[in-house]
Amino acid sequence: MLDRLFGVLKARFGSAPLLSEAPRGVDVLAEMADRRVMRRYRDEPVDPALVETLCAVALSAPSKSDLQQADIVIVSDRSQREKLEALLPDNPWVKAAPVFLMFCGNNRRHRLLFEWRGRPFVNDHLDPFFNASVDAGIVLATFIAAADRVGLGTCPISAIRNHPQEVSDILGLPPHVFPVAALGAGWPSFAGVMSPRLGLDVSIHHDRYREDGLKENVAAYDRRREAVQPYRTQRYVEKFGESAEYGWSEDKARQYSVPERAGFGAFVRAKGFKLE
């Protein structure tokens, strides 16, 4: 199993740490490293009790100062789903997902504790929003890991933040509760495809952050990814033209060459957060 872990990590990153012996749970580590985003599902329901169980497991994740600032909305009502799906025209696969969840940051409960006790909320600045966002992200990642363990496939949906007010209205999110990401889940209809990641020499640092050789390492990643998972299409050809070499760095530079979610800060402030 150690060989499998090494092989999976090498396929993902281009290299892998050289473990001298298999750690406890090496089989689980290999499965986690080999996870794939899943957008195609069998036409088979998922037991609602299993979904709630996975939510409970996810909400068992670490929480900043035990504040527990993450919520999960299970969207099962057909009309509710259709309203949310209409906001995601570029993600048609969402309609096929048997399970649709919304992960939210919740700083409301924390503030209510002060209101109930007649005390001022003195930490009304960026940190409450940041803490709730991170808590929700940790819960999302833990749900994905738990779903993998029971054989479900998942795919996070960040595009819901393109329409945060509409999502908030549909789900009835009160002040200081906001959507972080949605998640589609279901029983996979195929094995999925592994997405290569930036090399470990780019994203793992020792003692101090470093960027030695970053440009060359990113270029090497572009070539490695192009060899195993080339992009099917190029973004904004009308603006940038066709590129003979089209790797991850060119795709991401094009993706964020147009404004995206510029109004999210205004939405967050309208939810009652002060971001100083």
The whole-number pLDDT of residue 261 equals 93
Mean pLDDT of 244-267: 95
Q: What is the pLDDT of residues 136-188, one digit of tens each?
A: 999 999 999 999 999 999 999 999 999 999 999 999 999 999 999 999 999 99
CB 46 within 8 A of CB 77: no
- Three-state DSSP at 130 gives helix
CB 225 within 8 A of CB 196: yes
Q: What is the pLDDT of residues 48-96, one digit of tens each?
A: 999 999 999 999 999 999 999 999 999 999 999 999 999 999 998 999 9
The whole-number pLDDT of residue 1 equals 83
240 pLDDT band, cuts 50/70/90, is very high
Spell out the domain ranges in the chain: 1-34, 48-192, 200-238+245-276
Outline where DSSP puts E strands in 125-176.
153-157
- CATH fold for domain 48-192: NADH Oxidase (3.40.109)
Angle between helices 214-228 and 248-255 in degrees, nearest 10: 100
Average pLDDT, the chain: 96
Residues 6+ apart with CB under 8 A from 151: 187, 188
- Backbone CA torsion sign across 198, 199, 201, 207: positive
105: enclosing H helix or E strand: strand 99-106
Angle between helices 26-33 and 2-13 in degrees, nearest 10: 20
Provide the token pair at 125: 């600045």
